[in-house]
Amino acid sequence: MARDHGSQIKDEKLYEDLRKQGNSKEKAARIANARANGSLQHRSTHLEDRSRQDLYEEARKIGIEGRSRMNKAQLEHAIRDHK
């Protein structure tokens, strides 16, 4: 069961999971609260709807090596797994 962090945290379980992953208290709170009120739009959940060129540009921005040799499915996988 998630610990009670007060009224400022709207999704206690997500907050705790994010903290365990190493996110700061502030970032975890922002994400948990955005997810709770439905305003969180994470781009990686819609990668399959983007073009290969868009995915290539995203991979370039985040520094994924070997991106020029990747097809669309490989780019999607690389972007999702990038940390």
Q: In terms of pLDDT, which residue wins out, 12 or 46?
A: 12
| pLDDT tens, position by position, 12-30 | 888 898 899 998 888 888 8
Per-residue pLDDT band at 32 (split at 50, 70, 90): confident
- What lies within 8 Å, CB to CB, of 78 at 6+ separation is 59, 64, 67, 70
| Domain ranges (residues) in the chain | 1-41, 43-81
Mean pLDDT of the chain: 83
**Helix, strand, coil content of the chain in percent (nearest 5):** 65, 0, 35
Task: Kindly report whether the global pTM for this prediction surpasses the value 0.85.
Answer: no
